[in-house]
């Protein structure tokens, strides 16, 4: 493909993302599946441009609006084309003549630049993306309404953490203990031309820098590795399971943590992977089979209060609630998600999390544990939810993160709080929150 054709494809994908309710990776994947003629290198270049714009959207829009004057600045509503132009001029450093040649209106290439667009790229050429007049939300590319909550979460580490959240994440893998050791997985990947290094915190983890075609790797085809962020691996380890236990993964989704838990249990005992989406559970079936996880039963629920919960009251040693949340901790991987998030979404999710926690708590047997996980950075979804359930249900008490870490992983917990809080700048993971609650043993109740 010509540079102009790549640019046109990126514009089309960005506009499709803006119009769709689906995540960016699904939209881009559908676009490429419908155009099999686009080769691997072209797909990679197009995706890099699309995600570059999504990561820097606030700054690109700020610069583009700055070039407009009078009332037109306030009415500015940029689309994929305007954002691509700003990215090419500022981030990629394309000369003005090169941009003009790419936008020549020929087949598969963008229509020619208007006089106003030519003036804009001339004004933007050679600029630095940062500017002292940019607000923190613009400089760090996130919705302004979240600024107070993110300052409260990070304090003096705000700038470093927000910079890390805007960067591209590495590719983390989990070695599947049911199929072999981490060292064996690294060796097989090396034979396939991929250099993987052990993750610093998870004893299961391997890390690759940048994207890699895993589906053709023997380590993947054999079930020896699974794609899973190191933070998600640590969350699964915090369930602290043992072979022979009964475990419920209450919001299992595609089954990533269920797989990790089954491996930790050595396929001994019983794992029930629940979700309200039959589609997500069905998608996990192939993963479970490839991983050799045979002690996992899938259960579709009608809602968090499905009658199945009442029938299985107080019957599980461990109940994991990986709750639906804003996903603010995953912006490295899903930069598009930040631009669709609204304050009302947070309020709705917080209410849903409360209902899920209350229902899932019923499944925990006396002496068992309820493990609450989000990939959120917001107190409303994390600490406030735990504090509230501890207030509502006095049968539960908090288990300090350091105690769980020592039992499940060993060594010193990297999070000094009662909870496990992980973040990109400090720990190199996605943003995660984990709280472990234990139900009083039967003989300890009044």
What is the CATH classification number for the domain harbouring 119? 1.10.940
pLDDT at 72: 46
Do 287 and 431 lie in a common domain?
A: yes
Cα–Cα distance measured from residue 81 to residue 357, given in angstroms and rounded to the nearest whole number: 44
Give domain status of residue 141, yes or no. Answer: no
pLDDT at 71: 42
pTM given for the model = 0.93
- Final residue of a domain: which of 180, 210, 227? 227
Task: Tell me whether residue 413 is one of the annotated catalytic residues.
Answer: no
Give domain status of residue 148, yes or no. Answer: no
Do 218 and 243 lie in a common domain?
A: no
pLDDT at 76: 60
Return the structure tokens found at 271: 């794992």
Do 235 and 259 lie in a common domain?
A: yes
pLDDT at 327: 96
Quick one: how many helices (H) and strands (E) in the chain? 22, 12
Give domain status of residue 151, yes or no. Answer: no
Q: Which regions in the chain score pLDDT beneath 50? A: 70-72, 74-75
Give domain status of residue 161, yes or no. Answer: no
Do 236 and 223 lie in a common domain?
A: no
pLDDT at 183: 96
Return the structure tokens found at 368: 């068992």
Do 319 and 403 lie in a common domain?
A: yes
Chain Cα centroid distance, residue 138: 21
Do 322 and 203 lie in a common domain?
A: no
- Final residue of a domain: which of 227, 247, 265? 227
We report the CATH number of the domain holding residue 277 as 3.40.50.150
Q: What is the domain count for the chain?
A: 3
Do 176 and 238 lie in a common domain?
A: no
Give domain status of residue 143, yes or no. Answer: no
Cα–Cα distance measured from residue 372 to residue 287, given in angstroms and rounded to the nearest whole number: 24
Distances, alpha carbon 262 to alpha carbons 272, 372, 391, in Å: 10, 18, 32
Give domain status of residue 158, yes or no. Answer: no
Do 252 and 128 lie in a common domain?
A: no
Give domain status of residue 150, yes or no. Answer: no
Distances, alpha carbon 61 to alpha carbons 12, 123, 328, 335, in Å: 18, 14, 21, 15
Cα–Cα distance measured from residue 425 to residue 377, given in angstroms and rounded to the nearest whole number: 13
Return the structure tokens found at 220: 């993947």
| Catalytic entry in 248, 274, 325, 375 | 375
Do 291 and 432 lie in a common domain?
A: yes
Q: What is the per-residue pLDDT across 41-58, written as a single tens digit (0 to 9) for each? A: 999 999 999 999 999 999
Do 213 and 352 lie in a common domain?
A: no
Do 223 and 347 lie in a common domain?
A: no
- Final residue of a domain: which of 84, 108, 134? 134
Give domain status of residue 149, yes or no. Answer: no
Name the residue range of residue 78's domain.
3-134
Do 193 and 114 lie in a common domain?
A: no
């Amino acid at each position: 493909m010509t540079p102009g054709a790549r640019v046109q494809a990126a514009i089309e994908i960005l506009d499709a993302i803006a119009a769709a309710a689906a995540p960016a990776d699904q939209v881009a994947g559908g676009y490429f599946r419908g155009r099999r003629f686009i080769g691997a290198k072209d797909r990679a270049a197009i995706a890099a441009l699309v995600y570059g714009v999504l990561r820097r959207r606030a700054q690109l829009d700020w610069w583009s609006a700055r070039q407009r004057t009078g009332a037109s600045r306030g009415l500015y509503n940029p689309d994929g084309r305007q954002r691509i132009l700003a990215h090419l001029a500022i981030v990629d450093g394309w000369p003005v003549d090169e941009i003009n040649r790419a936008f020549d209106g020929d087949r598969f290439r963008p229509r020619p630049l208007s006089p106003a667009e030519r003036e804009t790229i001339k004004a933007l050429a050679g600029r630095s993306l940062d500017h002292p007049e940019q607000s923190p939300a613009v400089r760090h590319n996130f919705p302004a309404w979240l600024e107070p909550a993110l300052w409260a979460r990070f304090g003096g580490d705000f700038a470093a953490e927000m910079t890390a959240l805007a960067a591209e994440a590495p590719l983390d893998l989990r070695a599947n203990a049911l199929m072999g050791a981490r060292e064996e997985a690294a060796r097989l990947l090396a034979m396939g031309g991929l250099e993987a290094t052990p993750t610093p915190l998870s004893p299961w983890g391997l890390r690759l820098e940048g994207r890699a075609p895993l589906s053709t790797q023997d380590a993947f085809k054999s079930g020896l590795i699974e794609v899973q962020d190191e933070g998600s691996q640590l969350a699964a380890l915090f369930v602290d399971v043992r072979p022979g236990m009964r475990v419920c993964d209450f919001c299992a989704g595609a089954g990533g943590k269920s797989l990790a838990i089954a491996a930790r249990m050595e396929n001994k005992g019983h794992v029930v992977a629940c979700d309200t989406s039959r589609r997500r559970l069905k998608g996990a079936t192939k993963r479970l089979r490839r991983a050799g996880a045979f002690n996992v039963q899938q259960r579709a629920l009608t809602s968090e209060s499905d009658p199945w919960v009442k029938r299985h009251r107080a019957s599980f040693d461990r109940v994991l609630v990986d709750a639906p949340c804003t996903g603010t901790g995953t912006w490295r991987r899903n930069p598009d998600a930040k631009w669709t998030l609204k304050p009302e979404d947070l309020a709705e999710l917080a209410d849903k999390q409360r209902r899920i926690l209350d229902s899932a708590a019923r499944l925990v047997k006396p002496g068992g544990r309820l493990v609450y996980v989000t990939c959120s950075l917001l107190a409303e979804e994390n600490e406030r939810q735990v504090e509230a359930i501890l207030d509502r249900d006095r049968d539960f008490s908090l288990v300090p993160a350091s105690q769980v870490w020592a039992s499940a992983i060993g060594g010193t917990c990297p999070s000094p709080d009662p909870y496990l809080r992980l973040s990109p700048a400090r720990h190199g993971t996605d943003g995660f929150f984990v709280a472990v609650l234990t139900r009083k043993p039967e003989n300890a109740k009044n």
